[in-house]
Structure 1
Amino acid sequence: MRALGKITKLTRRALLIGTAVTLTASAGWAAEFTAKIGHLESDQQSRHVHLAKVAELVKERTDGAVEFQIFPSGQLGSQREMTEGVQLGTLEGTVSPAAFLGGFNPAVSILDIPFLLPADPEDAQKLRESAFGEELLESFSSKGVVGIALWPNGLKNFTSNKPLDDLEAFKGQKFRTMDSKILIEQFDALGASAIALPFGELYTSLQTGVVDGQENPLDTIQRMKFDEVQKYLVVSEHGAMEDVVMFNPAWWDSLTDEYRTIITDTFNEVVPELRDHKAKAVEEALSAIKEGDINVRVASDEEKAALREMTYEKAKQAYIDRAGEAGEALIATYEKAYSELK
Structure 2
Amino acid sequence: MKTIRNLSITVTAAALMAASMSGGAFAQDFTAKIGHLESAAQNRHIHLEKVAALVSERTNGAVEFTLFPQAQLGDQRQMNEGVQFGSLEATVAPAAFLGGFNPVVSILDIPYLLPEGEDAAQALREGPFGQTLLDSFTDKGMHAIALWPNGRKHVTSNLPIADLADYASQKFRVMDSRVLIEQFNALDASAIAIPFGELYTALQTGVIDGQENPLDTIETMKYFEVQENLVISGHGAMEDVVIFNPAWWDSLPAEYQTIIEDAFIEMVPELVANKQAAVDSALEAVTEAGMNVRVAGPEERAAFREATFDATSAAYVAQAGDAGQALLDVYLEEYENVTQ
* Superposed pair shares fold, TM > 0.5: yes
Which of the residues 173, 183, 206 maps onto 2:170? 173
1:182 has 2:182 as partner: no
Q: 1:146 maps to which residue?
A: 143
SS of 2:88's partner is coil
Counterpart Cα distance in 2 of 1:240 and 1:222: 18
Equivalent residues of 2:27, 2:63 under 8 A apart = no
Deviations 1:68-94 (A, max 9, x none): 011111111100111100111111000
2:99 to 75, 87, 102: 102
Corresponding position of 1:4 = none
The one-letter code of the counterpart of 1:123 is: A
1:293 is displaced (CA, Å) by 2.0
Give the corresponding residue for 2:300.
303
Q: Percent identity?
A: 63
| Alignment deviations for residues 109-134 of structure 1 (CA, whole Å, 9 cap, x no partner) | 00000000010001101100010100
Compute the RMSD of aligned alpha carbons: 1.1
**CA separation in 2, counterparts of 1:29 and 1:104?**
34
Partner of 1:212: 209
In structure 1, the partner of 2:220 is 223
Partner of 1:198: 195
**In 1: Cα distance, 2:64 partner to 2:51 partner:** 10
Q: Pick the aligned partner of 1:54 from 28, 51, 54.
A: 51
**Structure number, greater radius of gyration:** 2
CA distance in 2, matches of 1:304, 1:29: 52
- Show the 5 A alignment for 1:245-264: 245-264=242-261
Q: Distance in 2 between matches of 1:100 and 1:128?
A: 19
**Distance (whole Å) between structure 2 residues aligned to residue 265 and residue 293 of structure 1:** 43
Mapped partners of 2:308, 2:25: distance in 1: 58
Q: For each residue in 1:11-61, what CA deviation from the matched residue of structure 2 results, as whole angstroms up to 9, or x when unmatched?
A: xxxxxxxxxxxxxxxx99841100000000011111001100000000111
Q: Residue 340 of structure 1: SS of its match in structure 2?
A: helix
- Number of residue pairs matched by the alignment: 316
> Do structure 1's residue 334 and structure 2's residue 331 form an aligned pair?
yes
Point out where structure 2 has 5 or more consecutive residues left out of the alignment.
1-23
Specify which of 100, 110, 115 is matched with residue 113 of structure 1: 110
Tell me, which stretches of 5 or more residues in structure 1 are unaligned?
Answer: 1-26
Aligned residue type for 2:237: A
Quick one: distance in 1 between partners of 2:88 and 2:100? 20
TM-score (norm 1): 0.91
Contact 2:27 2:60 in 1 (8 A): no
Q: How far apart are 1:227 and its partner, in Å? A: 1.0
Aligned residue number for residue 160 of structure 1: 157
Residues 182-240 of structure 1: CA deviation (Å, up to 9, x unaligned): 00110011110000000000000000000000000000000000111001000000000
1:288 equivalenced with 2:254 (yes/no): no
Deviation of 1:294 (Å)? 1.4
1 CA distance for matches of 2:31 and 2:25?
A: 16
Which whole-Å CA distance do the structure 2 matches of 1:67 and 1:314 have between them?
45
User: Runs of at least 4 residues of structure 1 off by over 6 A?
Assistant: none
Output one character per residue of 1:250-305: Cα deviation in whole Å (capped at 9) or x when no partner: 10000011110110111011100000010000000000000112111111111111
Q: Aligned partner of 1:149: which letter?
A: A
Q: Does 1:238 align with 2:231?
A: no
Residue matched to 2:65: 68
CA distance in 2, matches of 1:69, 1:260: 17
Q: CA shift at 1:173, angstroms?
A: 0.2
2-side partners of 1:227 and 1:316: how far apart?
Answer: 31
